[in-house]
Structure 1
Amino acid sequence: MMLADRLNAGFAAAYAAAPAITVRAPGRVNLIGEHTDYNDGFAMPIAIGQETQVAFTPQVGAPLQVAALDFADSDAFDPAAPDRATAGDWRNYVRGVVDELVRAGVSVPGGQMAIAGSIARGTGLSSSASLEVAVARSLLQAAGLDWRAIDIALLGQRAECDFVGVRCGNLDQIASACTQAGHALLIDCRSLDLRQIAMPDDARVMIVQSGVVRGLLDGEYNTRRRECEAAAAIMGVAALRDADAAMLAAARGRMDDVTHARARHVISDNRLTLEAAEALAAGDLVTAGVLMRESHRTQAQDFGITVPATDRLADILNAAIGPQGGARQTGGGFGGAVVGLMRADQVDTVREAVLASYRTPAGEAPMISIEAPCHGAQVLA
């Protein structure tokens, strides 16, 4: 069943009615620039076809009822005063968005909401950011407010940081809210300057799931952020965006090995991202591939966020792609997916190589998707 059909059927089953508003927000895959966003640096994602859809009928003065179709679960709360649910609960992502809207002065209506998605959780494709952006967009639409996409993205980030408890950067929400079809998005995570970069016509993006499900809240994501902040403080800069290799070398004697390695990855990935953006804009998949491979290496050796399964997958993809592109782990790390950039005529060969050489920890063939850059969040009805 198509996602829209599943959403409408679920809404009808929960509320015996049709929704007044339907919104979509895509997931994302990050081509390059990992853990750079909360360091005020640079990243370059695309939005993908996997997405979250939200159906909503507002009812002023009523509780906000939420049917989470993917969980076969529900929630109901006062939209004027949302409180926290159990840590790690899906409800906190919805309640966190409502809380931030209330803090921003929005009179959030109650009513009936249903949520469904096609993004597998824990796969590194930003199901949480997609959910946050879709919920915010639907509630703003109901309130008759037309916020800028970047402001919706930043609200979603605040919800995840302050309410859910994952101290994420702004990459994922900006990718879900602000991307354009057919383009990668170079994000300056400090200034919020956004550069839409047309993808070459012959380029294709392949996402391969490792089968290792990651969890940011109970993993080491917040630890990596603290380590980066410590490195920046030692070098006397506001964020690692402001440091370079020479500054890091000068501070080497004042850092332990782990802190030094974390900073080295971020400084390197900021540079690689800017170079990759220029290569992609010029249609140079060879250079972009070299930069992606180097980014995977520093994620593994310096930042410590790859796992044996994603290292194995990156090796398989890079061998099959050859010099006409590259592959790397994508997302927050500790599992999830590997992204490959290649020519269109290589897709079948690369897919066959992956299926012949890799099985998930459960012994299954990996999920593989070929993605074209999609548009950011939209009101569908």
Structure 2
Amino acid sequence: MSASLVKDVKKTFIKKFKTLPLLIFSPGRINIIGEHTDYNDGFVFPAAVDKGIAAAIQKSNSGSCTAIALDIDSTIEFELDKLKPSNEGSWENYVFGVVAEIQNRNKVVGDFNIIFKGNIPGGAGMSSSAALENSIVFGLNELFELNLTKEDMILISQKAEHNYVGVNCGIMDQYASMFGKKDHALHLDCRSIKSKPYKIDFKDHQLMLINTNVKHSLSDSAYNDRRSACERVSELLGIRALRDATEADLEKIIDKVIPANYQKALYVIQENNRTIKAAKAIKNNDLETLGALIYQSHEGLSNQYKVSCDELDYLVEQAKKNEHVLGARMMGGGFGGCTINLIAKSEAKAFAETASKAYKNKFNKVCSVYFIQLSEGTHLVR
């Protein structure tokens, strides 16, 4: 958790509203393996990280609510009985959406003020949106004693994203941010929404993210396209979701789907199996196998699911050339964002430098490198 973030929002809140706020920290997340399996009722393997969003929140007696996004120095005032989505892409939709979804559960929220600030790199695929939603719902739950469970809260966050932000996301991001556990990754079953924490001993290795700093405009439409392709194949198979399918099942309908959609469904089935193998590898402290599965995940995302891009593929190729990297893959929705790399600690800095240099030469763009620790989920800061 970043102490300076918390200090910033607290100081600004006291100065502006002349009262002591409740303080919440809500982390971003990484996903070790299991990409695009969440909306197929499958398994994923996320973990909360030590970057996130700090929020300061307190009741308001001014007759309205104020929300301030400190990073972009943007303020909105609103009334609780007049909530409706703002323009697409507006940050306030996260705030409005969470409040509206709480109200939909017949819970009473009073007027409040909130200030938040984050250090999750934008466009890195580390779910700053889920961290923001969770910080808001967690804060309101504390402030107005709504008696929501953490399970309730993540469903509220997810619905806010569906109904106000317009992204038909799965549950992984909100779950990982809310339930994260220090030094653990969560093997999450997205159907039952239950997870098993696995303590990861990276020994002399560590995780490193390299951000391509590109975001190809395809991402939202492509996400929805892939989601509906998966749903169509499930329908043809007469099952609820692809998590219930085997490769043999898929073979039976090969002549009923276009080759591209066959490959997408095949990827989901294989990726789901990889997350189960990854859990076993982590349990056995077998980082080599984990690394190999991570590389396979990227192959599938790039060649079968087709959500990678030249920049991501190039960074994974750079990783493959380095014997100290056990595994690398694109992470997140795709078409930009980060690669996640499992690398020997002693070689991480050198690899970061050579990969960055090669990337700059190839694309005439700068990539960013982040070192991360697995950390606690959304919590009150005392």
Per the normalisation by structure 1, the TM-score is 0.94
Distance 1:228 1:46, change over 3 A: same
> Counterparts of 1:60 and 1:108 in 2: how far apart (Å)?
13
1:79 matched to 2:80? The reply is yes
Residue 60 (structure 1) shift: 6.0
- Against the structure 1 CA distance between its residues 237 and 205, is the aligned structure 2 distance closer, same or farther, given a 3 Å change threshold? same
Aligned match of 2:301: 299
1:225 match: secondary structure? helix
Sort the Cα spacing of 1:281 and 1:146 in 2 relative to 1 into closer, same or farther, 3 A: farther
How far is the alpha carbon of 1:164 from its aligned partner? 1.4
Matches within 5 A, 1:40-119: 40-59=41-60, 62-119=63-120
Cα pair distance change 1:77/1:122, threshold 3 Å: same
**TM-superposed deviation, 1:148:** 2.7
Residue deviations 1:269-316 (CA, integer Å, cap 9, x gap):
100111011101211111011111110001011111101000111111
Aligned to 2:140: 139
Aligned partner of residue 116 in structure 1, secondary structure:
strand
Closer/same/farther in 2, CA of residues 283 and 358 from structure 1, 3 Å limit: same
Deviations 1:196-231 (A, max 9, x none): 000114141111101113568744211111111111
CA distance in 1, matches of 2:158, 2:322: 36
After TM superposition, the structure 1 = structure 2 runs for residues 282-297 of structure 1, keeping only pairs within 5 Å, are 282-297=284-299
| Contact 2:52-2:120 within 8 A present in 1 as well | yes
| 2:231 counterpart of 1:229 | yes
Q: Once the 2 structures are TM-superposed, how far is the Cα of residue 162 of structure 1 from its aligned partner?
A: 2.1
User: Is the 2:13–2:21 contact (alpha carbons within 8 Å) kept by the matching residues of 1?
Assistant: no
**Superimposed CA distance per residue, residues 161-187 of structure 1 (whole angstroms, 9 cap, x where no aligned partner):** 122110100010001001100101110
Structure 1 gap ranges (5+): none
Q: TM-score, normalised by structure 2?
A: 0.94
| Aligned CA distance change for structure 1 residues 9 and 139 (closer, same or farther; 3 Å) | same
Between the aligned partners of 1:177 and 1:201, the Cα distance in structure 2 is: 23
Q: Secondary structure at the match of 2:191?
A: coil
| Structure 1 position 6, deviation (Å) | 2.6
8 A contact 2:213–2:366 mirrored in 1: no
**For the structure 1 residues 321 and 139, does the alpha-carbon distance in structure 2 shift closer, same or farther, using more than 3 Å as the test?**
farther
Q: Which residue of 2 aligns with 1:263?
A: 265
Using the TM superposition, give the Cα deviation of residue 17 of structure 1 relative to its aligned residue in structure 2, in angstroms. 2.3
The one-letter code of the counterpart of 1:370 is F
Structure 2 CA distance, aligned partners of 1:206 and 1:155?
A: 31
Specify the alignment match of 1:23 in structure 2: 24
Q: Is the 8 A contact 1:178 1:377 kept in 2?
A: yes
Moved more, 225-234 or 138-147: 138-147
SS of equivalent to 1:187: strand
Cα RMSD of the aligned pairs, angstroms, is: 2.0
- Tell me the number of residue pairs that the alignment of Structure 1 and Structure 2 aligns: 379
For residues 57 and 216 of structure 2, the distance between their equivalents in structure 1, rounded to whole angstroms, comes to 30
1:374 matched to 2:375? The reply is yes
What is the aligned partner in structure 2 of residue 37 from structure 1?
Answer: 38
**Are residues 108 and 61 of structure 1, via their aligned partners in 2, closer, same or farther at CA, if it must alter by over 3 Å?**
farther
Question: % of aligned pairs identical?
Answer: 30
Q: CA 1:308–1:174 in 2, change beyond 3 Å: closer, same or farther?
A: same
What is the identity, as a one-letter code, of the residue corresponding to 2:291?
G
